[in-house]
Structure 1
Amino acid sequence: MFKPTPNPPETDSVSPYESLDSRKLHDAAERALDHYLNPTAAIMAAPYQASTMFLVNPETDTESLLVNASESLASASIMLGDVAGLVDGPIRRTLLGIAQVVMLGELAVNRALDRVEVTD
């Protein structure tokens, strides 16, 4: 039987670690791939440290914090509704969806505020 293509030439298998330079190149390639394809490794390597630029006074009572959070969420809900009224289409639906999530957060904060026992 006639074979239309010739057999491929036999080659020796070449290890990527034959020389020191190829090992360095391989290590660099692995780091680059890990950096772009597995970014969580770099994120998980460093412990999380909260920014100290904006601090909440640790002596502030829970009720005051909840009241402030409730007012902030109510303001965000109003702002999202106002902006949603200015646009149409998918952007409007996205803004209204975000507004709904903010309102649900506001409801949860208000419920927590109802359960706080005031200490005088």
Structure 2
Amino acid sequence: MSETTKPLVTDPASPYESFDSRKLHAAAERALDHYLAPAQIMATPYSPSSMFMVNPQTDTESLLANACESLASATVMLGDFAGVLEGPSRNTLLGIAQVLMLGELAVNQALENVVPRD
């Protein structure tokens, strides 16, 4: 063998070396599929629970005002929680807070469209 040719490296721990290693390999595959595969997330359509319902007779202005306040509160809670975190988790929470703020702005504009201020 020349100095420029390296020997072929093979993995000594084949998952099919014995029956037990095959079972372990199959179990590992199932676990990875369960936690990492996007399998059934979008398989069933979302249907809201009827346990808590908004009164259908509530006027639009009240609904929009309540939604705006809820979004603002959630934004503050996420900001407070993000303040005690560092790294990727903090960035994720701040990103979610920003999405909520954008929702709050949209609801505020819808409220303005429904009940314009003079």
Tell me how far 1:39 sits from its aligned partner: 4.4
Q: Tell me the distance in 1 between the aligned counterparts of 2:38 and 2:68.
A: 40
> Residue 38 of structure 1: CA displacement?
6.8
CA-to-aligned-CA distance 1:30-74 (integer Å, 9 cap, x gap): xxxxxx99748x737xxx754210000010000000000000000
Equivalent position of 1:58 in the other structure: 56
Q: CA RMSD in A?
A: 2.6
| CA pair 37-73 structure 1, distance change in 2 beyond 3 A | closer
Number of residue pairs aligned between Structure 1 and Structure 2: 80
Q: Which residue of structure 1 lines up, in the alignment, with residue 44 of structure 2?
A: 43
Instruction: Describe the shift of the 1:87–1:51 C-alpha distance in structure 2 as closer, same or farther (beyond 3 A).
Output: same
What pairs with 1:49-88 in structure 2 (closer than 5 Å)?
Answer: 50-88=48-86
Aligned to 2:94: 96
Aligned to 2:110: 112
Long gaps (5+) in structure 2:
1-36
TM-score (norm 2): 0.59
SS at match of 1:55: coil
% identical equivalent positions: 65
